[in-house]
Amino acid sequence: MKKIEKRFVLIGMGAFGIEVARTLRNSEEDVLIILHNDFESVRESKDSFITLKRLREMGFEYLYETDTTNPLALKKHIKPTDTVILSHGKNFETKLLAIEALKEIGVHEIFARATRDMHAKVLGKMGISSVIFPEKQEGKRFALELMNKQVKAMDEVAPGVFIVELDVPKVFLGKSIRSLKFRDNYHVSVICLKENSQSVHQKEEELKEKVYIQDFRDISLHENHTLVLAGAKERLKQVTDLVGQ
């Protein structure tokens, strides 16, 4: 069994929080979920409210419901060494009070989700570890992919630095990454190589994907491969423009 070194606590729950919690759980991390017992909010947002029962049905085991704005209530469940993620996005005032309560009990690692620019600015001034803005990040990623339809996926990971996934251009087929000398010829880095394989009898949802992170530079590229590249936008464009030619 994996030794637990750190515990992750999610306060509030929605689609974003569920994905964070599921990913942590699937990686065998110690996950605790705490819901705020504000029953007015429950009545106001019946359709989107996540109950303890629904979370149990999803396979989550450690669940509590309490007043997340009360330091004494949080102290019963949260340790100062825990990593806390405030993943709810509905009640901003509750989130601010929860952050203050977490600070009062000595929690140092706090992440909070923002749903508006103004909220992100306010949260950024509260001295927490990081502000998460998934809607803005996903919107930016979608726009990048919309403008660059020749790529499968595209994201800006740092100012001016992008990661793209793209089909292997026809001029690269049968050649290896080493022989193509991406850094010398295109000034971009190949992060990894993906291989999609699907048998005739396999359903689409059972599509299998192999990811080569090391020892892939001498593999002959074929049509089922996906290149994952990193570099400046204009440098990457030299490669992405070759797709479809």
Domains detected in the chain: 7-134 (3.40.50.720), 142-240 (3.30.70.1450)
pLDDT class of 10 with cuts at 50, 70, 90: very high
Please give the average per-residue pLDDT across 221-244, as a whole number: 93
- Edge-to-edge strands of the sheet including 189-197? 153-158, 161-167, 225-232, 189-197, 208-212
Q: What is the structure's pLDDT at 222?
A: 93
Q: What is the structure's pLDDT at 89?
A: 64
Q: What is the structure's pLDDT at 37?
A: 80
pLDDT, tens digit (0-9, with 9 covering 90-100), for 159-169: 889 999 999 99
Q: ∠ CA 241-168-210 to the nearest 5 degrees?
A: 140
Q: What are residue 162's DSSP bridge partners?
A: 156, 231
Please give the average per-residue pLDDT across 24-30, as a whole number: 90
Q: What are residue 113's DSSP bridge partners?
A: 132
Sign of CA dihedral 26, 32, 37, 41: negative
In whole angstroms, what is the distance from residue 184 CA to residue 207 CA?
A: 34
Asked whether the predicted pLDDT for residue 198 surpasses 70, the reply is no
Mean residue pLDDT of the chain comes to 86
pTM: 0.71
Parallel, antiparallel or unpaired: strands 83-86 and 7-11: parallel
Identify whether the C-beta of residue 171 lies closer than 8 Å to the C-beta of residue 221.
Answer: no
Better-scored residue on pLDDT, 157 or 231: 231
pLDDT, tens digit (0-9, with 9 covering 90-100), for 47-94: 345 788 889 988 899 999 999 999 999 999 999 999 999 987 668 899
Q: What are residue 83's DSSP bridge partners?
A: 8, 109
Burial class of residue 68, CB neighbours in 10 A (0-12, 13-18, 19+):
buried
**Going by C-beta distance under 8 Å and a sequence separation of 6 or more, which residues neighbour residue 128?**
99, 110, 111, 112
Q: What is the structure's pLDDT at 1?
A: 44
- Percentage of the chain modeled with pLDDT above 90: 59
Torsion of CA 112, 117, 121, 124, to 10 degrees: 30
Please give the average per-residue pLDDT across 106-115, as a whole number: 94
Which of 82-86, 87-91, 207-211, 219-223 is predicted with the least confidence, judged by mean pLDDT? 207-211
Q: What is the structure's pLDDT at 68?
A: 92
* Three-state DSSP class for residue 177: helix
Which of 5-19, 73-87, 118-132 is predicted with the least confidence, judged by mean pLDDT? 5-19
